[in-house]
């Protein structure tokens, strides 16, 4: 039995938990938001500036989902104009290690993946 089967099928709930989490953190922006907030408390515009290509709408949706999941906190300061800051929760910080490992794997293996894709595409026009 594989490690996956032991974790998800025997100990877990038949894979439902992992599918739900991967739906959340496996989207296009969530891990970038989490990684950007590593060790930082950032205002919305600072966060948006540090994540190239993310729209205001998508950043709003992403931080709301991450807040709902308990990975990010949103603090509103009673100032004029209002100031809002985002930071990782304790649980959100536990995601940094796996996220960095995945990012390193992606960077290390991307050339090989691109070669495989080109080879496959050449053989299967």
For residue 6, being part of any structural domain is answered with no
Predicted confidence band of residue 2 (pLDDT cuts 50, 70, 90): confident
Whether 8 shows a pLDDT value over 80: the answer reads no
* Overall average pLDDT of the 49-71 stretch: 96
Which CA distances in Å does 15 have to 11, 26, 46?
Answer: 10, 15, 36
% of the chain with per-residue pLDDT over 90:
67
Where residue 12 falls (left for φ over 0; alpha for ψ -120 to 50; beta otherwise) is beta
- In-domain check, residue 40: yes
Nearest residue to 2 via CA among 15, 17, 20: 15
| pLDDT at site 11 | 65
Structural domain contains residue 32: yes
Q: For the chain, what is the domain count?
A: 1
Q: What is the domain extent for residue 56?
A: 28-123
18, 12 in Cβ contact below 8 A? Answer: yes
Residue 33 lies in a domain: yes
Does residue 65 lie within any of the structural domains?
A: yes
* Mean pLDDT for the stretch of residues 83-110: 93
* Residue 7 covered by a domain: no
Q: Is residue 18 part of a domain?
A: no
Rounded to an integer, the average pLDDT of 24-36 is 90
Q: Is the pTM of this model over 0.85?
A: no
Looking at every residue in the chain, the average pLDDT score rounds to 90
* Across 71-85, average pLDDT: 93
Residue 15 within a domain: no
Residue 107 sits in a domain of what CATH number? 1.10.10.10
Which residue would you say has higher pLDDT here, 61 or 100? 61
């Amino acid at each position: 039995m594989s490690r996956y089967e032991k974790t998800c099928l025997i100990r877990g709930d038949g894979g439902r938990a992992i599918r739900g989490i991967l739906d959340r953190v496996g989207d296009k922006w969530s891990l970038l938001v989490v990684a950007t907030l590593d060790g930082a408390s950032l205002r919305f515009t600072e966060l948006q500036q540090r994540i190239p290509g993310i729209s205001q709408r998508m950043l709003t949706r992403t931080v709301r989902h991450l807040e709902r999941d308990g990975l990010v906190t949103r603090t509103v300061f009673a100032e004029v104009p209002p100031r809002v800051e985002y930071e990782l929760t304790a649980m959100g910080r536990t995601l940094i290690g796996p996220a960095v490992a995945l990012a390193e794997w992606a960077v290390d293996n991307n050339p090989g993946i691109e070669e495989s894709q080109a080879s496959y595409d050449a053989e299967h026009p």
